[in-house]
A and B are shown apart, each in its own frame.
Chain A
């Protein structure tokens, strides 16, 4: 039963990753590939984007948790992801509180109620 379930991936700062790994989501697979990325000051946007895309292509990942400020860096990649699996969840970080107006899902939902629709 345990083998069937999918993983939760994390892209975040050190504290976020440490917290979620404490929660038991971490995995290092046979190829020593982790399901998390600790974003530090010197982590490039390309690296973040590539990791995000690699998580999207992995079929053993069900949910991707990403700090909202990091999601802002790769917004185009997140907006381009329209499938329901893996689900992308934007979470706050220590220095950047959660802003619902930036969340991709809520922005899509908000886009529903434009004046055009109700004419």
Chain B
């Protein structure tokens, strides 16, 4: 068996073992992903049970949907692709705080002690014209970044704990799915390596078959021949014995 063939076999074995390890890891992560998804559904079903059948459905999705998680994709030199999730934090800038305060100011219109026994006409006179209030409410948020809302709020302000748990489960699923995607890419890259190595080994085997067996062993034999020759020469140089 040739040296090239041996090396090709060793590299192939190493690659197969790596491939098996990756497949095992992929299966493990898949199982975790599937169980987390199931957990999420279970929590969602519980929330649906307590909130009502139609309260957790596609009808409640918001009008403006902004992603709160993004994936950073990197292609490595060996052909693998790496996926990393990056969670976008909710805006906590000064602008958003101001907005929150303004909303609170507008909310309770009748602050302080209510005066009773006053006619409606008098109240209307004292109140500021409604246009100013409307203009305050309709001021578009003067920010470059769009306002982000927690998707949990689509389903109400006071949502049950189970819906929050469902959200936590699905957040984990999103992170895990990026890991699974990376592993899938790794598996496919290793598979390509394996195919290349297998082709190498076949080529080496074909070369060995084509070469006549005697030709392959020639160097080793010639070495032995020269060895024998040297031995003979050495014998010749031995001074004759006393006889």
Kindly identify which residue among B56, B67, B171, B185 contacts A84, using a CB–CB cutoff of 8 Å: B185
Residues of B within 8 A of A16 (CB): 37
Instruction: Report the minimal beta-carbon distance from A117 to chain B, rounded to whole angstroms.
Output: 6
Main SS of chain B's interface residues?
helix
A94 to B195, CA, bound (A): 37
B147 within 8 A of A: no
Residues of B within 8 A of A2 (CB): 70, 86, 88
Contact with A along B63-94 (1 / 0, CB 8 A): 11111111111010001110100111000000
Instruction: Report the minimal beta-carbon distance from A40 to chain B, rounded to whole angstroms.
Output: 9
A30 to B163, CA, bound (A): 29
A22 to B166, CA, bound (A): 8
B232 within 8 A of A: no
B23 within 8 A of A: yes
Q: Are A22 and B194 in contact (CB under 8 A)?
A: no
Interface size on A, residues (CB 8 A): 44
Q: How large is the interface on B (under 10, 10 to 19, 20 to 34, 35 or more residues)?
A: 35 or more
Given that A14-B57, A87-B185 are known contacts, is A23 also in contact with B27, CB under 8 Å in the complex?
no
Residues of A within 8 A of B61 (CB): 18, 21, 26
Instruction: Report the minimal beta-carbon distance from A115 to chain B, rounded to whole angstroms.
Output: 13
Q: Are B41 and A89 in contact (CB under 8 A)?
A: no
Q: Are A5 and B166 in contact (CB under 8 A)?
A: no
A34 to B174, CA, bound (A): 18
Q: Are B69 and A23 in contact (CB under 8 A)?
A: yes
Main SS of chain A's interface residues?
mixed
Given that A2-B86, A4-B72, A23-B170 are known contacts, is A15 also in contact with B41, CB under 8 Å in the complex?
yes
A92 to B173, CA, bound (A): 12
A8 within 8 A of B: yes
> Which residues 73-111 in A have Cβ within 8 Å of B in the complex?
84-85, 87, 89, 91-92, 94, 97-98, 100, 105-106, 108-109
Q: Are A6 and B152 in contact (CB under 8 A)?
A: no
Kindly identify which residue among B75, B79, B83 contacts A63, using a CB–CB cutoff of 8 Å: B83
Contacts beyond the supplied A23-B174, A109-B187: 13 A-B pairs with Cβ under 8 Å: A7-B67, A8-B69, A18-B61, A24-B174, A26-B67, A27-B65, A34-B65, A87-B184, A89-B177, A89-B181, A92-B34, A100-B27, A112-B19
Q: Could you list which residues of chain B lie within 8 angstroms of chain A, going by C-beta atoms?
A: 19, 23, 26-27, 30, 33-34, 37-38, 40-41, 44, 56-58, 61, 63-73, 75, 79-81, 83, 86-88, 151-152, 163, 166-167, 169-171, 173-174, 177-178, 180-181, 184-185, 187-188, 191, 194-195, 198
CB<8 Å pairs between A and B, sample of 13? A2-B70, A2-B88, A6-B73, A15-B41, A22-B170, A24-B171, A28-B64, A34-B65, A35-B67, A84-B185, A87-B185, A92-B38, A98-B34
Q: Could you list which residues of chain A lie within 8 angstroms of chain B, going by C-beta atoms?
A: 1-2, 4-8, 14-28, 34-35, 38, 62-63, 65, 84-85, 87, 89, 91-92, 94, 97-98, 100, 105-106, 108-109, 112, 117
